[in-house]
Amino acid sequence: MAVNVARSAAFPRFDWLTGYRELLRTLLRREIRKRYKGSALGIVWSLVYPLAMMGVYTLVFSVLWRTAGNIPHYPLFVLTGLAVWGFFQAGVQLGTSSLIGNADLVKKVWFPRELIPAAAVLAQLTTSLVMFVILVPANLIAVPATAKTMALAFPIFGALVCLALGFAWLLSIVNVFFRDVEHLLAVLFLPWFFLTPVLYGLEQLPAAASHRWLIDVMRYGNPVTPYVEGFRATLLQATVPGASLLVYIFVVGPTLALLGLWVVQRYEDRLAVEL
């Protein structure tokens, strides 16, 4: 019990990364197997949805409405945004419900509770890696100059993982005490998606020049937007994101992860009772 009190009273601890590494791997393998159990194509299905959506959005916005004519390589533009958004949404949504979904395990034995949401988020890395295996060569063919900036996408992705972990840890705890959170989150993700520049660029919006304050709110008030723009800059536009965007990316994600980890460790002793 003293160990639990120390974990909840101090700053976030990272002993679970080493002392419970095998348990994390086991939970991670279980999450991946559960997702593709009974599927003949397995992880291939993770590619079907974003590729299908890319085709639909390209047809609607680039061919039929022709509102994306000023965005070069629009299919890749959309696919890059979908890769970022897909990882974030799946990780946060599954991470939020993970503690309740593993209530029997939580009530039977003690272990660091942060492992469960972490496994739910990290399991989405398999889908993301497959996506980027296709996306990176395609972007290199379309814009060869991205070879100079592509390396920066790796630390940006690491910060994105931290952002998803932070949200998952925080919301999984709140969801234990207020069970409507996961249902509210499912409703919020749809408008959140359209407020994130996945299908459009903020600077390409017709009213962008006359509503700079609103563009700034959409860029920095939405925690996913800087990561979408950062990936596009490095993987598709062969540029380095601006200083303010980089500061946001590398400060907000890790900070939220530390906060979420602290909250999980602060309330972990109450989870078995609440569940």
Instruction: For residue range 61-89, list pLDDT tens digits in order.
Output: 656 556 666 788 888 898 899 899 999 99
Task: Let me know if residue 8 belongs to a domain.
Answer: no
Calculate the alpha carbon distances from 233 to 94, 137, 155, 215 in Å.
Answer: 28, 15, 14, 17
E strand or H helix at 54, and its extent?
helix 45-57
pLDDT of amino acid 20 = 83
Residues contacting 155, CB < 8 A, separation 6+: 250
Instruction: Print the domain residue range for 43.
Output: 14-274
Is 144 within the bounds of a domain? yes
The total of structural domains in the chain comes to: 1
Q: Secondary structure of the chain: what % helix, strand, coil (to 5)?
A: 75, 0, 25
Per-residue DSSP letter, 121 = H
Maximum separation of any 2 CA atoms in the chain, in Å: 64
Distance CA 110, CA 188 (A): 33
* Separation of CA 246 from chain center: 17
In a domain, 209, yes or no: yes
Question: Helices (H), strands (E): how many in the chain?
Answer: 14, 0
In a domain, 1, yes or no: no
Residues in the chain: 275
Domain assignment present for 89: yes
What spatial distance separates the first Cα and last Cα of the chain, rounded to whole Å?
19
In a domain, 4, yes or no: no
Q: What is the pLDDT of residues 118-171, one digit of tens each?
A: 999 999 888 888 888 888 888 898 899 999 999 999 999 999 999 999 999 999
Residue 221 in this model has a pLDDT that exceeds 70: yes
In a domain, 5, yes or no: no
Is the separation of the CB atoms in 256 and 163 below 8 Å?
A: yes
Answer yes or no: is 9 within a domain: no
